[in-house]
């Protein structure tokens, strides 16, 4: 403590007691080690949303540690290919990675529960399962076998179904379709006749442009516009029933995690919570304007038919039963997850859905006839008709 500060404390009447409390706190911070990590992202630099999630974590960790704990973020392919980041973390080639866990579904389909599986949870329900429904414990138990501890660290919200050169009207239209689609959804669509391709985000556009693939899904309007898919495929189907609320994770090498002082553990954990909610807010705020621009550019917005959705739902259940029969790890998580999903859907169907549906109807009517006054009354009428 400097002389100046000591005399200030005396003058202020605080005396030595306060000084004695302050001094060790300063000494403790000074004794924290300098830690430099490398992070391999599965995403391209051009996407400020999903790639930006890792940058936001690095920025917060550095700021909160006074610049002593730094994480250098590398885009997909810079030091590790997009779909190899799990092994890079497992083998301590890098300390951590920011990724969509379902990319590693070929290694074990259980990975996908830390991200999304078809007809799964929306973003709110995914967070509820992870943080307060036993999901994080189950997934961390699974990730232990890979020397990885995972942290929810981003969510895109419900995704779009993607870009198609030809409109998909019936289940038969799926046959022979070469489509870029990742994770468990590929296994479901494969049974429907699709030829799924797992291609990193940054490499999708050239494949679609060249015609190597007929269709591609990525995330939603804001990202998809940036990647330029509308220039080579005009039909934009929705919803992405395979990704109702996909989570992104920070994978951290277990030894690197255990070596961190508790202060840095707390900082990193908080930075991941922050990234998890901030990414979703960013997507929700940016998607509406991007969708308007896409439609203005001639994009044909088309819902998947109920027939297609129902057939895919049925196939998904078969795929899950098959996985559960063969894979005890999958079954353990699936059983808990299925119970949780059923309760969530029931709960959301009461207040949340009624509220959302009413607001959607109100908005539709007020946009169609802005001069006719009381939109709420019109919406009530519209809802009563159904």
CB distance 238 to 218 below 8 Å = no
Minimum CB separation from Ca ion for residue 183, in Å?
Answer: 8
**Which stretch in 131-139, 144-152, 211-219, 319-327 sits in contact with Ca ion by CB under 5 A?**
211-219
* Residue closer to Ca ion (CB basis): 35 or 204: 204
CB distance 94 to 88 below 8 Å = yes
What x/- string results for residues 91 through 120 when contact with Ca ion is judged by CB under 5 A? Answer: ------------------------------
What x/- string results for residues 260 through 299 when contact with Ca ion is judged by CB under 5 A? Answer: ----------------------------------------
Minimum CB separation from Ca ion for residue 175, in Å?
Answer: 22
What x/- string results for residues 157 through 186 when contact with Ca ion is judged by CB under 5 A? Answer: --x---------------------------
**Which stretch in 42-50, 61-69, 209-217, 354-362 sits in contact with Ca ion by CB under 5 A?**
209-217
Q: Give the three-state DSSP class for 94.
A: coil
CB distance 183 to 100 below 8 Å = yes
Q: Specify the residue for token string 């430099």.
A: 36
What x/- string results for residues 231 through 250 when contact with Ca ion is judged by CB under 5 A? Answer: --------------------
| Cα R_g (the chain), whole angstroms | 24
* Residue closer to Ca ion (CB basis): 257 or 283: 283
Task: Count the neighbouring beta carbons within 10 Å of the beta carbon of residue 201.
Answer: 23
| Cα 312 from Cα 241, distance rounded (Å) | 9
Q: Residue count at the site for Ca ion (CB under 5 A)?
A: 2
Minimum CB separation from Ca ion for residue 243, in Å?
Answer: 5
* Residue closer to Ca ion (CB basis): 159 or 253: 159
* Residue closer to Ca ion (CB basis): 217 or 225: 217
Peptide bond into 239 cis (omega under 30): yes
* Residue closer to Ca ion (CB basis): 102 or 323: 102
Minimum CB separation from Ca ion for residue 100, in Å?
Answer: 8
* Greatest extent of the chain over all pairs of C-alpha atoms, in Å: 84
Q: Specify the residue for token string 């002082």.
A: 261
Phi, psi of 303 (to 5 degrees): -75, 145
* Residue closer to Ca ion (CB basis): 115 or 275: 115
Instruction: Please give the full DSSP string across 143-200, using - where no structure is assigned.
Output: HGGGTEEEEEEEE--SPP-EEESS---SGGGGTT-EEE--HHHHHHHHHTT-EEE---
What are the residues binding Ca ion (CB under 5 A)? 159, 217
């Amino acid at each position: 403590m400097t002389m100046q500060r000591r005399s200030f404390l005396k003058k202020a009447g605080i005396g030595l007691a306060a000084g004695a409390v302050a001094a060790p706190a300063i000494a403790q911070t000074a004794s924290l080690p300098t830690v430099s990590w490398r992070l391999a992202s599965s995403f391209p630099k051009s996407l400020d949303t999903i790639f930006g999630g890792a940058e936001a974590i690095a920025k917060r960790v550095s700021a909160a540690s006074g610049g002593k704990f730094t994480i250098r973020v590398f885009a997909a392919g810079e030091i590790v290919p997009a779909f190899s980041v799990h092994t890079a973390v497992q083998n301590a080639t890098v300390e951590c990675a920011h990724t969509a866990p379902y990319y590693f579904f070929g290694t074990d389909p259980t990975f996908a529960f830390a991200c999304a599986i078809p007809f799964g949870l929306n973003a709110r329900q995914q967070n509820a399962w992870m943080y307060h429904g036993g999901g994080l414990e189950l997934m961390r138990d699974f990730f232990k076998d890979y020397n990885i501890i995972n942290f929810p660290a981003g969510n895109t919200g419900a995704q779009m179904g993607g870009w198609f050169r030809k409109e998909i009207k019936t289940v038969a239209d799926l046959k022979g379709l070469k489509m870029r689609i990742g994770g468990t959804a590929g296994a479901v669509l494969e049974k429907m006749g699709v030829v799924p391709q797992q291609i990193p985000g940054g490499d999708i556009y050239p494949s679609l442009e060249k015609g190597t693939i007929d269709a591609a899904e990525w995330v939603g309007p804001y990202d998809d516009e940036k990647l330029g898919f509308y220039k080579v495929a005009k039909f934009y189907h929705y919803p992405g029933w395979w990704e109702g609320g996909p989570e992104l994770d920070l994978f951290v090498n277990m030894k690197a995690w255990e070596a961190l002082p508790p202060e840095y553990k707390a900082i990193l954990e908080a930075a991941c919570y922050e990234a998890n909610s901030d990414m979703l807010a960013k997507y929700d705020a940016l998607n509406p304007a991007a969708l308007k621009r896409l439609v203005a550019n001639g994009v044909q917005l088309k819902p998947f038919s109920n027939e297609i959705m129902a057939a895919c739902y049925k196939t998904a259940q078969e795929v899950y039963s098959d996985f559960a029969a063969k894979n005890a790890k999958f079954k353990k998580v699936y059983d808990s997850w299925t119970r949780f999903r059923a309760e969530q859907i029931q709960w959301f169907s009461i207040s949340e859905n009624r509220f959302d549906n009413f607001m959607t109807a109100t908005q539709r009517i007020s946009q169609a006839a802005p001069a006719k006054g009381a939109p709420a009354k019109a919406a009530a009428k519209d809802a009563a008709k159904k």
